[in-house]
Amino acid sequence: MSRRDERKVYGVHACRALHERRPEDILRVYVTEPLVPQFGLLLRQCAENHRPYKIVPPGELVSITESRHHEGICIVARPLEPRRLADLLRPPGPALALALVEVGNPHNVGAILRTAAHFGARGVLLGGERAALPPAAARTAQGGAEWVDLVPAPDLDTALAGARAAGFVVCATTSHGGRDLHAAPLPPRVLLLVGAEDQGLPPALLSAADLVVAVQGTGHVESLNVSAATAVLLAEHWRQHAGRRRQRDGRR
């Protein structure tokens, strides 16, 4: 197997979620001595399935992960197979999906994925040329990256057209106008456009949205961080539509 067919995932919660969701994709494990009891089941399964694991000092794990924030464990695994946009949008009922547009900071991406998993987002479209999730984003997501489907979307115009055809309303947020988020109900099916940290959404893409909303506040600061603004909107959609979503999915 080529190294290009491998992904490094590090961090306690991210590795635990990977082990829970897709243990068959684990190729090898690096762990520091203090975490051996916590990940005993994982290591036993590695031994049983002839998957190598190694107990390493923290300094070696820094070299392996290229990060000082490894939290004592790294799993090398097969990458998740990306979902097709049509498969993501097809199921009926209330749903919210995200499209990340030039959101470059991996910590913001990870925070958005963590919130998306918490509020049951259908999936996240990765706009532009990004093909894989940075390891730092997966760690910051605290396991959320294993619960939210990722869809490459190099052509956002085509993606927006597909979303509309599936009954989604394309929604954007802005700090310079737009309807008050809490002034009227959100549509049941929403594709939320999330823009870059410094400039927000490009004007052309903002104009292409069917609905533009703003998170109202005191005005003491110019705007919310992109991950914070996304969290507010995800929470509001969940509040309005979670009951119908639970009924559809057969959950209490």
Do 19 and 120 fall into the same domain?
A: no
| pLDDT greater than 80 at residue 212 | yes
Contact (CB, 8 A) for 130 and 103: no
Owning domain of residue 60: 3-77
> Do 129 and 152 belong to one domain?
yes
Range 63-86 average pLDDT: 93
Q: Are residues 50 and 92 in the same domain?
A: no
The count of structural domains within the chain is 2
Residues 34 and 111 in one domain: no
Question: Using one digit for the tens of pLDDT, what is the confidence trace for 11-21?
Answer: 999 999 999 99
Boundary (domain end) residue, out of 34, 60, 77? 77
* Percent above pLDDT 90 for the chain: 69
What is the C-alpha separation between 19 and 17, in angstroms, rounded? 5
Q: Looking at the structure, tell me whether residues 129 and 58 fall in a common domain.
A: no
Residue from 7, 103, 115, 106 nearest 64 by CA? 7
The Cα–Cα gap between 100 and 250 comes to 30
Q: Specify the pLDDT at position 219.
A: 83
What's the CATH code of the domain at 121? 3.40.1280.10
Q: Is residue 52 domain-shared with residue 137, that is, in the same domain?
A: no
Span 22-40, pLDDT tens digits:
999 999 999 999 999 999 9
Q: Which of 37, 55, 77 is the last residue of a domain?
A: 77
Residue 71 sits in the same domain as residue 95: no
Reported residue count of the chain is 252
Indicate the DSSP class of residue 24. G
92 plus 207 within the same structural domain: yes
Query: Taking the complete model, does pTM exceed 0.95, yes or no?
Result: no
**Average pLDDT in the chain:** 90
- State which amino acid sits at residue 122: R
Which residues, in sequence order, are CB contacts of 110 under 8 Å at separation 6+? 136, 137, 138, 139, 140, 141, 142, 144, 145
Regarding whether 32 and 126 lie in a shared domain, the answer is: no
Residue 252 has pLDDT above 50, yes or no: no
Which of 27-31, 72-76, 181-185 is predicted least confidently?
Answer: 181-185
